[in-house]
A and B are shown apart, each in its own frame.
Chain A
């Protein structure tokens, strides 16, 4: 796991229940706003369908590095908090870094304890979707370089 993500996961894991809630609220408040150039693309193609809340994810590549952007309504702070964890923990990471993020990330943070199984499955969907998007950009860039 990239060190930034590792650090955030560790901080959550070591917290008690109430501290974990407060850390997640802080993360939810810290999600950077979507840059103007992306907000016009808030459409179904960028929406995470596994999540009940309207979550939009965007990727930009700079060479091997991935930059993440997201939009989640403030009414869904749990999802915002988790998405902010991914954005902060994975920004600038490589494709391999993102694909190797463990699928039980939520369990590792201890969040599953406060969230319960049903809520956790929605968040797992965000991570799965992110990985699928990253894998797709990788496939597209390989195709492009083969065509050259």
Chain B
């Protein structure tokens, strides 16, 4: 992992096994599938649900600082805790939780490379016990969320300025063909297609079959040689609701070291329904 721009944010399953009794380290499972944690998890890991815990159920936004502090306190996470996220589907939701923790300014966040799949494939121990830790008194320090999050008006300005956009959905979602086929109501958007100028780089291209991230050289091949990004670019990544794009945000920010990458979590479910904004179809 040494070649990555910020190798310290990516930890191995071995590291997690060695550190799991360290009170300064808290392992967090965050999955797309809500049953997985109860079927067996990394011993000592707590569960934080990207939807039930981190999203406000009434406003389309994240929970407020008070609720976030409560989730951390009940999970035994203090302000100086090293929080290691892992999960299913090549760590999509682990990256999403990581990103949400960064919105609230938590310092030390990491991802377990390979996620839940690699842990199980390597036949490492699983536990069904739900651990409980002494309650902490977490205080949200706050940060500048606008460094990593972008809203629709700024996305419009970003595209008008000709800055870089990455669409990480599947090719069919990007070209817009999916919504045009019968029986495909999946998007919840009135228009299919992509944000004009966005380049298509499906999120899954950044990970290997075993769920680990690709090497720096492979990632540079995809994002720089093929897509034409470079580290001085301002980049916005989006998908359908902002979960898959948080993985791409993680890759660009921490593995390739791009300092100005933002996740548009309104993503296609917002953009495809907005009145008066342009969209594009087909492969650009």
Contacts and interface: CB of A to CB of B under 8 A. Distances in A.
Contacts of B52: 114, 116
Which among B35, B52, B88 has the highest number of chain A CB atoms within 10 Å? B35
Interface in B188-232: 188
A75 B51 contact: no
A15 to B, nearest CB: 14
Contact of A116 (B36, B38, B51, B185): B51
Interface string A105-126: 0000000001110110110010
B34 A22 contact: no
Given A21-B38, A25-B38, A81-B35, A128 B183 contact: yes
Contacts of A116: 51-52, 55, 57
A102 B44 CA distance: 41
A129 B178 CA distance: 15
A28 interface: yes
B88 A119 contact: no
B35 A25 contact: yes
B117 interface: yes
Nearest to A124: B185
Given A49-B186, A50-B185, A116-B52, A75 B35 contact: no
A128 B185 CA distance: 10
Interface string B167-192: 00000000000100001111010000
A119 B34 contact: yes
B185 A78 contact: no
Q: Counting chain B CB atoms within 10 Å of each CB, which of A24, A79, A116, A132 scores highest?
A: A116
A25 B38 CA distance: 8
A129 B183 CA distance: 8
Interface of chain B: mostly helix, strand, loop or mixed: loop
B21 interface: no
A76 interface: yes
A47 to B, nearest CB: 12
A2 interface: no
Given A25-B39, A118-B51, A78 B183 contact: no
A78 to B, nearest CB: 5
B241 interface: yes
B33 A75 contact: yes
Contact of B241 (A24, A49, A118, A125): A118
Contact of A75 (B88, B184, B186, B241): B88
A49 B184 contact: yes
A77 B183 contact: no
B32 interface: yes
A78 B35 contact: yes
Nearest to A24: B35
Nearest to B38: A21
B34 A78 contact: yes
A81 to B, nearest CB: 7
Interface string B22-33: 000000000011
A125 B187 CA distance: 11
A10 B185 CA distance: 28
Contacts of A39: none
B39 A77 contact: yes
A52 interface: yes
Interface string A66-79: 00000000011111
Contacts of B184: 49-50
Nearest to A116: B51
21 contacts: A21-B35, A21-B38, A49-B178, A49-B186, A50-B184, A50-B185, A50-B186, A52-B32, A75-B36, A75-B117, A77-B35, A78-B35, A114-B34, A116-B51, A116-B52, A118-B241, A119-B51, A121-B188, A122-B186, A125-B185, A128-B185
Given A21-B34, A22-B38, A52-B32, 19 more contacts: A25-B35, A25-B39, A49-B183, A50-B184, A75-B33, A75-B36, A75-B89, A75-B117, A78-B34, A78-B35, A114-B52, A115-B34, A116-B55, A116-B57, A119-B32, A121-B186, A125-B185, A125-B186, A132-B183
